[in-house]
Amino acid sequence: ARLVVLVSGSGTNLQALLDAAEDPAYGAAVVAVGADRPGITGLERAERAGVPTFVRRVQDFADRVEWDRSLTGAVAEHRPDLVVSAGFMKIVGKEFLARFGGRVVNTHPALLPSFPGAHGVRDALAYGAKVTGCTVHFVDDGVDTGPIIAQHVVDIHEDDTEEALHERIKTVEREALVHVVGRLAREGYRIEGRRVLVP
Ligand code: GRF
Protein backbone atom coordinates (compact mmCIF):
# COMPACT_ATOMS: atom_id res chain seq x y z
CA ALA A 1 0.00 0.00 0.00
CA ARG A 2 1.11 3.57 -0.81
CA LEU A 3 1.22 5.84 2.26
CA VAL A 4 1.35 9.62 2.25
CA VAL A 5 2.22 10.84 5.76
CA LEU A 6 1.40 14.37 6.99
CA VAL A 7 3.56 15.87 9.75
CA SER A 8 3.99 19.18 11.61
CA GLY A 9 6.82 18.46 14.02
CA SER A 10 9.54 16.01 15.07
CA GLY A 11 8.13 13.14 13.00
CA THR A 12 8.86 10.27 15.38
CA ASN A 13 5.63 8.59 14.28
CA LEU A 14 6.75 9.05 10.66
CA GLN A 15 10.15 7.58 11.53
CA ALA A 16 8.47 4.49 12.99
CA LEU A 17 6.55 4.01 9.72
CA LEU A 18 9.70 4.53 7.65
CA ASP A 19 11.54 1.94 9.75
CA ALA A 20 8.68 -0.57 9.56
CA ALA A 21 8.42 -0.15 5.79
CA GLU A 22 12.03 -1.32 5.42
CA ASP A 23 10.61 -4.84 5.74
CA PRO A 24 8.91 -5.75 2.45
CA ALA A 25 6.54 -7.99 4.44
CA TYR A 26 5.13 -4.89 6.15
CA GLY A 27 2.96 -4.29 3.07
CA ALA A 28 3.14 -0.50 3.00
CA ALA A 29 5.66 2.11 1.87
CA VAL A 30 5.84 5.84 2.56
CA VAL A 31 5.69 7.38 -0.94
CA ALA A 32 5.61 11.05 0.17
CA VAL A 33 5.61 13.24 3.28
CA GLY A 34 3.68 16.51 3.48
CA ALA A 35 3.90 19.27 6.09
CA ASP A 36 2.11 22.51 6.92
CA ARG A 37 5.40 24.24 7.66
CA PRO A 38 9.03 24.04 6.43
CA GLY A 39 12.15 23.37 8.46
CA ILE A 40 10.79 20.67 10.77
CA THR A 41 12.60 17.48 11.73
CA GLY A 42 9.80 15.44 10.20
CA LEU A 43 10.79 16.70 6.74
CA GLU A 44 14.48 15.97 7.44
CA ARG A 45 13.57 12.40 8.34
CA ALA A 46 11.77 12.01 5.00
CA GLU A 47 14.68 13.50 3.05
CA ARG A 48 17.13 11.21 4.86
CA ALA A 49 14.98 8.27 3.75
CA GLY A 50 14.89 9.54 0.15
CA VAL A 51 11.14 10.16 0.33
CA PRO A 52 9.69 13.11 -1.67
CA THR A 53 8.29 15.95 0.48
CA PHE A 54 5.96 18.90 0.01
CA VAL A 55 4.95 21.86 2.18
CA ARG A 56 1.65 23.75 2.12
CA ARG A 57 1.54 26.71 4.56
CA VAL A 58 -1.89 28.11 5.33
CA GLN A 59 -0.54 31.68 5.23
CA ASP A 60 0.52 31.21 1.59
CA PHE A 61 -3.12 30.91 0.52
CA ALA A 62 -6.04 33.31 0.29
CA ASP A 63 -8.05 31.19 2.73
CA ARG A 64 -8.41 27.70 4.24
CA VAL A 65 -10.44 26.47 1.25
CA GLU A 66 -7.59 27.33 -1.14
CA TRP A 67 -5.08 25.75 1.23
CA ASP A 68 -7.18 22.60 1.51
CA ARG A 69 -7.52 22.43 -2.27
CA SER A 70 -3.77 22.74 -2.74
CA LEU A 71 -3.02 20.16 -0.04
CA THR A 72 -5.51 17.76 -1.64
CA GLY A 73 -3.79 18.12 -5.00
CA ALA A 74 -0.32 17.66 -3.53
CA VAL A 75 -1.37 14.46 -1.75
CA ALA A 76 -3.30 13.15 -4.79
CA GLU A 77 -0.17 13.42 -6.95
CA HIS A 78 1.28 10.50 -4.98
CA ARG A 79 -1.74 8.26 -5.46
CA PRO A 80 -2.04 7.18 -1.77
CA ASP A 81 -3.93 4.11 -0.66
CA LEU A 82 -3.84 5.52 2.89
CA VAL A 83 -3.09 9.01 4.21
CA VAL A 84 -1.59 9.02 7.72
CA SER A 85 -1.81 12.18 9.81
CA ALA A 86 1.05 11.71 12.29
CA GLY A 87 1.25 14.81 14.41
CA PHE A 88 -0.21 16.97 11.64
CA MET A 89 -1.58 20.02 13.41
CA LYS A 90 -4.12 21.25 10.87
CA ILE A 91 -7.73 20.19 10.33
CA VAL A 92 -8.23 18.97 6.75
CA GLY A 93 -11.23 20.41 4.91
CA LYS A 94 -14.19 19.23 2.85
CA GLU A 95 -12.30 18.81 -0.42
CA PHE A 96 -9.59 16.71 1.23
CA LEU A 97 -12.18 14.49 2.92
CA ALA A 98 -14.24 14.21 -0.28
CA ARG A 99 -11.12 12.92 -2.03
CA PHE A 100 -9.57 10.74 0.70
CA GLY A 101 -12.38 10.23 3.21
CA GLY A 102 -12.39 6.77 4.75
CA ARG A 103 -8.68 6.41 3.94
CA VAL A 104 -7.25 9.01 6.37
CA VAL A 105 -5.84 7.68 9.66
CA ASN A 106 -4.94 9.99 12.55
CA THR A 107 -3.14 9.33 15.82
CA HIS A 108 -4.12 11.36 18.89
CA PRO A 109 -2.23 11.36 22.23
CA ALA A 110 -5.28 10.82 24.44
CA LEU A 111 -8.10 8.30 24.86
CA LEU A 112 -10.81 9.82 22.64
CA PRO A 113 -13.49 10.97 23.14
CA SER A 114 -11.64 12.36 26.16
CA PHE A 115 -9.33 15.31 25.59
CA PRO A 116 -9.66 15.96 21.84
CA GLY A 117 -7.89 18.87 20.14
CA ALA A 118 -4.39 20.25 20.04
CA HIS A 119 -3.56 19.88 23.77
CA GLY A 120 -4.79 16.39 24.65
CA VAL A 121 -1.76 15.56 26.80
CA ARG A 122 -1.84 18.84 28.73
CA ASP A 123 -5.64 18.60 29.21
CA ALA A 124 -5.52 15.05 30.66
CA LEU A 125 -2.74 16.07 33.05
CA ALA A 126 -4.56 19.24 34.12
CA TYR A 127 -7.76 17.32 34.66
CA GLY A 128 -6.06 15.01 37.15
CA ALA A 129 -6.80 11.88 35.12
CA LYS A 130 -5.09 8.72 36.40
CA VAL A 131 -4.68 7.17 32.95
CA THR A 132 -4.56 8.55 29.44
CA GLY A 133 -3.13 7.04 26.27
CA CYS A 134 -3.34 7.19 22.49
CA THR A 135 -6.04 6.66 19.91
CA VAL A 136 -5.62 5.68 16.27
CA HIS A 137 -8.77 6.56 14.32
CA PHE A 138 -10.13 7.36 10.91
CA VAL A 139 -10.57 11.06 10.21
CA ASP A 140 -14.12 12.25 9.59
CA ASP A 141 -15.47 15.78 9.23
CA GLY A 142 -15.15 16.47 12.96
CA VAL A 143 -12.07 17.13 15.13
CA ASP A 144 -10.74 13.82 16.51
CA THR A 145 -14.23 12.29 16.17
CA GLY A 146 -13.81 9.57 13.53
CA PRO A 147 -14.26 5.81 14.05
CA ILE A 148 -11.68 4.40 16.47
CA ILE A 149 -9.33 1.67 15.22
CA ALA A 150 -7.08 1.13 18.27
CA GLN A 151 -6.40 2.59 21.72
CA HIS A 152 -3.65 1.99 24.29
CA VAL A 153 -3.57 3.11 27.93
CA VAL A 154 -0.66 5.00 29.52
CA ASP A 155 -0.53 5.66 33.29
CA ILE A 156 -0.18 9.25 34.47
CA HIS A 157 2.42 9.64 37.21
CA GLU A 158 2.02 12.08 40.14
CA ASP A 159 5.08 14.13 39.12
CA ASP A 160 4.47 14.00 35.37
CA THR A 161 5.20 17.04 33.27
CA GLU A 162 3.41 17.42 29.93
CA GLU A 163 6.66 16.61 28.10
CA ALA A 164 7.47 13.51 30.16
CA LEU A 165 3.93 12.20 29.79
CA HIS A 166 3.84 12.96 26.05
CA GLU A 167 7.12 11.13 25.48
CA ARG A 168 5.73 8.08 27.30
CA ILE A 169 2.57 8.26 25.19
CA LYS A 170 4.55 8.61 21.98
CA THR A 171 6.45 5.39 22.73
CA VAL A 172 3.15 3.50 22.77
CA GLU A 173 1.58 5.61 20.03
CA ARG A 174 4.17 4.88 17.37
CA GLU A 175 3.89 1.14 17.97
CA ALA A 176 0.10 1.33 17.73
CA LEU A 177 0.27 3.37 14.53
CA VAL A 178 2.76 1.00 12.86
CA HIS A 179 0.62 -2.01 13.84
CA VAL A 180 -2.66 -0.46 12.65
CA VAL A 181 -1.29 0.87 9.35
CA GLY A 182 0.32 -2.49 8.59
CA ARG A 183 -2.90 -4.38 9.26
CA LEU A 184 -5.05 -1.96 7.23
CA ALA A 185 -2.54 -2.20 4.38
CA ARG A 186 -2.27 -6.00 4.38
CA GLU A 187 -5.74 -7.12 5.49
CA GLY A 188 -7.96 -4.35 4.19
CA TYR A 189 -10.84 -3.07 6.36
CA ARG A 190 -14.45 -2.01 6.37
CA ILE A 191 -16.06 0.88 8.24
CA GLU A 192 -19.65 0.26 9.35
CA GLY A 193 -20.99 3.34 11.11
CA ARG A 194 -18.60 3.89 14.01
CA ARG A 195 -17.12 0.41 13.87
CA VAL A 196 -13.94 -0.45 12.01
CA LEU A 197 -13.78 -4.09 10.95
CA VAL A 198 -10.31 -5.43 10.12
CA PRO A 199 -10.47 -9.16 9.19
C1 GRF B 1 2.08 12.89 18.49
O2 GRF B 1 1.90 12.54 19.85
C3 GRF B 1 0.76 13.20 17.87
O4 GRF B 1 -0.30 12.38 18.31
C5 GRF B 1 0.55 14.60 18.37
O6 GRF B 1 1.80 15.23 18.29
C7 GRF B 1 2.81 14.22 18.37
C8 GRF B 1 3.61 14.29 17.10
O9 GRF B 1 4.79 13.65 17.33
N10 GRF B 1 -0.43 15.29 17.56
P11 GRF B 1 5.80 13.38 16.08
O12 GRF B 1 5.81 14.63 15.23
O13 GRF B 1 5.27 12.19 15.35
O14 GRF B 1 7.12 13.12 16.76
d(CA 194, CA 54): 32
What is residue 124's predicted lDDT score, i.e. its pLDDT?
98
pTM for the model stands at 0.96
Cross-strand pairs, 155: 131
62 C-alpha to center of ligand 1: Å? 28
What is residue 199's predicted lDDT score, i.e. its pLDDT?
87
Query: What are the φ/ψ torsions at residue 34 (nearest 5 degrees)?
Result: -115, 150
11 C-alpha to center of ligand 1: Å? 7
Active-site position among 78, 108, 137, 166: 108
Q: What is the ipTM of this complex?
A: 0.95
Q: Which residues line ligand 1 (CB under 6 A)?
A: 7, 9-14, 42, 86-87, 107-109, 170, 173
d(CA 76, CA 116): 28
d(CA 164, CA 162): 6
Q: What is the pLDDT along the chain (199 residues), one digit of tens a residue?
A: 999 999 999 999 999 999 999 999 999 999 999 999 999 999 999 999 999 999 999 999 999 999 999 999 999 999 999 999 999 999 999 999 999 999 999 999 999 999 999 999 999 999 999 999 999 999 999 999 999 999 999 999 999 999 999 999 999 999 999 999 999 999 999 999 999 999 8
